[in-house]
Structure 1
Amino acid sequence: MKKKLMALILCMVIALGLTACRMPSDGKRDADNSDVTQSQTQSYEAKDITVAALKGPTAIGMVKLMEDSKEKKTANNYDFKIAASADEFSSLLIKGDVQIAALPCNAAATLYNKSNGKIKVLGINTLGVLYIVEKGNTVQNVADLKGKTIYTTGKGTTPEYTLKYLLKKAGLDAEKDVNIEFKSEASESAAMLASSDSGAVAMLPQPYVTTVMAANSDVRIALDVTKEWEKLSTDGSTVVTGVIAVNADYYEKNKAAVAKFMEEYENSVDFVNSNVDTAAEYVEEFAIFKAAVAKKAIPYCNITFIKSNEMKTRINQYLTILYESNPSSVGGSMPDDNFYAE
Structure 2
Amino acid sequence: VNTIGNLFLLGDELEDLSQLEGKKILSAGENATPMYVLNLLLKDLDVDVSYLPSHADVVAAASEAQADYYVLPEPFVSLFKNKVGETWSLDLAQVYEEKTSYPLTMGVIVTTQSKLDEKKKDIEKFLDDYRASVARVLSEPEASAELIADYGIIENAALAKAAIAGSGLAFESPREMKEAIEAYFELLMAENPQSIGGELPGEDFYGDY
- Which residue of the other structure, out of 106, 111, 132, is the alignment partner of 2:9? 132
Structure index of larger Rg:
1
Q: Does 1:315 align with 2:169?
A: no
Structure-1 separation of matches of 2:96 and 2:34: 12
TM-score, with structure 2 as normaliser: 0.91
* Native 8 Å contact 2:175 2:206 kept in 1: no
| Number of the residue aligned with 1:219 | 87
SS of 1:303 mapped into structure 2: coil
Note the 1:47-66 alignment, pairs <5 A.
none
SS of 1:304 mapped into structure 2: coil
Structure-2 separation of matches of 1:203 and 1:254: 39
* Native 8 Å contact 1:133 1:201 kept in 2: yes
* Native 8 Å contact 2:75 2:167 kept in 1: yes
Task: Give the number of equivalent residue pairs.
Answer: 207
Structure 2 residue ranges without an equivalent (≥5): none
Assess, with a 3 A threshold, how the Cα gap between structure 1 residues 142 and 133 changes in structure 2: closer, same or farther: same
| Number of the residue aligned with 1:262 | 127
Structure with the higher fraction of residues in strand conformation: 1
CA shift for structure 1 position 218: 5.2
CA shift for structure 1 position 308: 4.2
Q: Deviations over 1:276-317 (max 9, x none)?
A: 111112222333222332111100011001014213222112
Q: Identical aligned pairs, as a percentage? A: 29
- Which residue of the other structure, out of 189, 200, 207, is the alignment partner of 2:58? 189
Q: RMSD of aligned C-alpha atoms? A: 1.8
| Number of the residue aligned with 1:31 | none
CA shift for structure 1 position 260: 2.2
Structure 1 residue ranges without an equivalent (≥5): 1-123
Q: Deviations over 1:204-257 (max 9, x none)?
A: 111111111112225321x10110111122xx2221111111232121133233
| Number of the residue aligned with 1:230 | 97
Note the 1:71-90 alignment, pairs <5 A.
none
Quick one: which amino acid aligns to residue 16 of structure 2? N
CA shift for structure 1 position 188: 1.5
* Native 8 Å contact 1:158 1:329 kept in 2: no
Q: Deviations over 1:61-92 (max 9, x none)?
A: xxxxxxxxxxxxxxxxxxxxxxxxxxxxxxxx
| Number of the residue aligned with 1:29 | none
* Native 8 Å contact 1:213 1:220 kept in 2: no
